[in-house]
Amino acid sequence: MKADHCEADHCQADRHTADRRTADPRGVLTGTHFIDGDHACCEGALAAGARFAAGYPITPSTEVVERFAARVPKVGGTFIQMEDELAASIALQGAVWGGAKAFTVTSGPGFSLMMEHIGYAVMTETPCVFVDVQRGGPSTGLPTLPAQADMMQARWGSHGDYEIIALCPNSPQECFDLTITAFNLAEEFRVPVMFMMDEVVGHMTEKVVIPPADEIEITPRRHTRKSVEDYLPYGTNGDGVPEMAHAGEGYNFHVTGLTHDERGYPNMTPPVQDKLVRRLQSKIRNAADRICLFEEEQLEGAEVVVVSYGITSRVAQRAIESAREKGLRVGKLRLITAWPFPEKKIRELAAKVKAFVVPELNLGQMVHEVQRAADGQAKTFAVSHAGGGVHKPEDILKVIVEASKCRIV
């Protein structure tokens, strides 16, 4: 960080820029690879500094931890296969408090079992990553076939009010790049980050370029440098994210899933609940502009905008191009961050376009968010799919054509 860029107001926000480091080269497999999304995700985790994973086998995600189990003893870390997903999703949090960067990997049925511990990570502000390689549901559903039907579960699956971050890669390269982003965001905001892959992206093999370690930026843990006397485990400054200590460092801190005060002590009163839960929410919402990543194309002058994410964005690309060949003015907005939802971006677009078309491998999830953010300024069209395959581009095209004919009331 250059000192002349640090104005007083920004010092707090820039603290982490100042602390940014580059990846430990021992975890980085620099080079050009031909690997699938699951393997790329594993390499992203290793590059990000993950040295602990706990998992339980489940298709189509298991390749991530299989690779991790083979790689991690050579870089100084641990993989443990736990007895179930409940155990995996809390063992990783124990590891985080022991000083590791940690994650777990699963798919729908296992993701369902992990919900309680997503809430625990939110409440205790345990930085960690949950990878969900989505398959068709409900229940056992389609173990080997894709869906994008866990998007609302990722956002709302645990009880209570909270915010998480969720990212949606659409290629093996992004499985690598965005896994690193996921770990960085987890550390910056002390929040569990959901890495929402899908079966196709997980099993699709493409070129993945892994850069040299010194070109990979890593957000370190917000480890406290305060003295034992001065340290308040859940005390915060301007950005609402507390500093962390690890077990065994002499801080004698307490961590609980109960509503707690700045000391980390249980305090189950409405004022403390209000302060805590609002802070857990606002630390993410206030930074939404920075967290929300998206890819946009030809939005200027567009009448219809196709909003998609994950594998569906690649099918939608074909439909968008076909529509443009027909002379339609179609823009593309690909959500890379699904949560927090980029509602500001949608709201801005809604004032300018006639309609949004939202294809997704579910019967309508993120489309409701688009509709909410559009707030009646533009129409919203879902292109649903129950999962088990991907859309046919012509099915999306048909809705784009229909949407382009609509009139704004």
Strands 192-198, 165-167: pairing kind: parallel
Cite the beta strand spans of 314-372 per DSSP E: 330-335, 337-339, 355-359
Pick 95 or 378: Cβ nearer other proteins = 95
Q: Which two tokens stand for residue 329?
A: 């003015």
Strands 337-339, 165-167: pairing kind: antiparallel
* 255 touches other proteins by CB under 8 A: yes
* Residue 355, beta-bridge partner list: 304, 379
Q: Which of 50, 58, 91, 304 binds other proteins (CB under 8 A)?
A: 91
Residue 95 beta carbon to other proteins: minimum distance, rounded to whole angstroms: 4
Q: Which two tokens stand for residue 376?
A: 């009646």
Residue 5 beta carbon to other proteins: minimum distance, rounded to whole angstroms: 17
Q: Measure CA 333 to chain center.
A: 17
Which DSSP letter does residue 26 get?
G
Q: Which of 40, 58, 65, 92 binds other proteins (CB under 8 A)?
A: 92
Using CB under 8 A, which residues numbered 93 to 122 contact other proteins? 93-100, 102, 116-117, 120
Q: Which two tokens stand for residue 245?
A: 């200590």
Q: Measure CA 154 to chain center.
A: 9
- Label residue 307 left, alpha or beta by phi (over 0 means left) and psi (-120 to 50 means alpha): beta
Rounded to the nearest 5°, which phi and psi values hold at 257?
-80, -10
* 80 touches other proteins by CB under 8 A: yes
Residue 135 beta carbon to other proteins: minimum distance, rounded to whole angstroms: 24
Which DSSP letter does residue 20 get?
-
Residue 119 beta carbon to other proteins: minimum distance, rounded to whole angstroms: 8
CA distance 338 to 101: 23
Q: Which of 13, 84, 214, 408 binds other proteins (CB under 8 A)?
A: 84
* 57 touches other proteins by CB under 8 A: no
Size of the site for other proteins (CB under 8 A): 49
Q: Which of 25, 31, 57, 76 binds other proteins (CB under 8 A)?
A: 76
Q: Measure CA 145 to chain center.
A: 21
* 25 touches other proteins by CB under 8 A: no
* 272 touches other proteins by CB under 8 A: no
* 234 touches other proteins by CB under 8 A: no
* 247 touches other proteins by CB under 8 A: yes
Pick 97 or 156: Cβ nearer other proteins = 97
Contact positions vs other proteins (CB under 8 A): 21, 24, 26, 51-52, 54, 73-78, 80, 82-84, 86-88, 90-100, 102, 116-117, 120, 246-258, 265-266
